């Protein structure tokens, strides 16, 4: 799967149709869409990692239509089995956001491979329902800026063990990875616009 994944990612130039990167435990496709300007700041956005927290999917859809100057890599759903069954974990009952140092689950392995190939400057992992932006360490400036742009509370706290942000913020490439906890339910139009503005505004954050 890794060879196929790398081939697909290498072939993505500018804006693209959804490209399959791998499959979930039950065989559902995991896709990525590239949008914006390849010369811009590279930003990876993951809309849904916990299946019962789907509000971030709409943010990815809106970003795709926003004609951004940034180089956006959008993964709408990393956990399609959990989304289909309205569960936190994947089909094995595993919480993918505690698996990033072990990478025992197929969905986590896909996510790690995407990060390794894309090497984004910033990554946003959408969750629910705490209505805050969680950042720490080298991602603190980016997280604070995102919170200001989105009109959300900024939560400066150490990462939990095994999480995507914990793993990614310890990679040697200097990436900034933050958790955005959206409020419960669907985003209204104004809320969606604030999230899009915040994602695109990360390119202006200080290192």
Strand partners for 130: 183
Please tell me the total count of domains within the chain.
1
pTM here is 0.93
> What backbone torsions phi and psi does residue 119 show, to the nearest 5 degrees?
50, 60
* 104/142 Cα distance (integer angstroms): 29
Structural domain harbouring 193: 2-204
Query: Which CATH number fits the domain that encloses residue 145?
Result: 3.40.630.10
pLDDT, tens only, 134-166: 999 999 999 999 999 999 999 999 999 999 999
pLDDT, tens only, 27-84: 999 999 999 999 999 999 999 999 999 999 999 999 999 988 999 999 999 999 999 9
Could you tell me which of 159, 167, 162, 71 has the C-alpha nearest to residue 115? 167
pLDDT given at position 205: 66
């Amino acid at each position: 799967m890794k060879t196929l994944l790398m081939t697909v990612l290498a072939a993505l130039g500018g804006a693209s149709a959804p490209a399959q990167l791998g499959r979930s435990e039950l065989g559902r496709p995991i896709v990525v869409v590239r949008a914006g300007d390849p010369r811009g700041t590279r930003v990876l956005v993951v809309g849904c990692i916990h299946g019962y927290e789907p509000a971030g999917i709409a943010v990815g859809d809106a970003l795709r239509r926003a004609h951004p100057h940034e180089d956006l890599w959008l993964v709408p759903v990393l956990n399609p089995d959990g989304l289909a069954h309205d569960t936190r974990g994947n089909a094995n009952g595993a919480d993918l956001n505690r698996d990033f140092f072990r990478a025992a689950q197929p969905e986590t392995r896909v996510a790690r491979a995407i990060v390794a190939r894309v090497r984004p400057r910033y990554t946003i992992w959408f969750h629910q329902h705490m209505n805050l932006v969680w950042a720490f360490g080298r991602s603190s400036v980016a997280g604070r800026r995102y919170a200001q742009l989105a009109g959300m509370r900024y939560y400066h706290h150490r990462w939990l063990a095994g999480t995507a942000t914990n793993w990614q913020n310890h990679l040697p490439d200097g990436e900034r990875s933050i958790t955005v906890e959206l409020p419960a339910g669907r985003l209204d139009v104004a809320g969606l616009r604030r999230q899009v503005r915040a994602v695109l505004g990360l390119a202006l954050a200080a290192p």
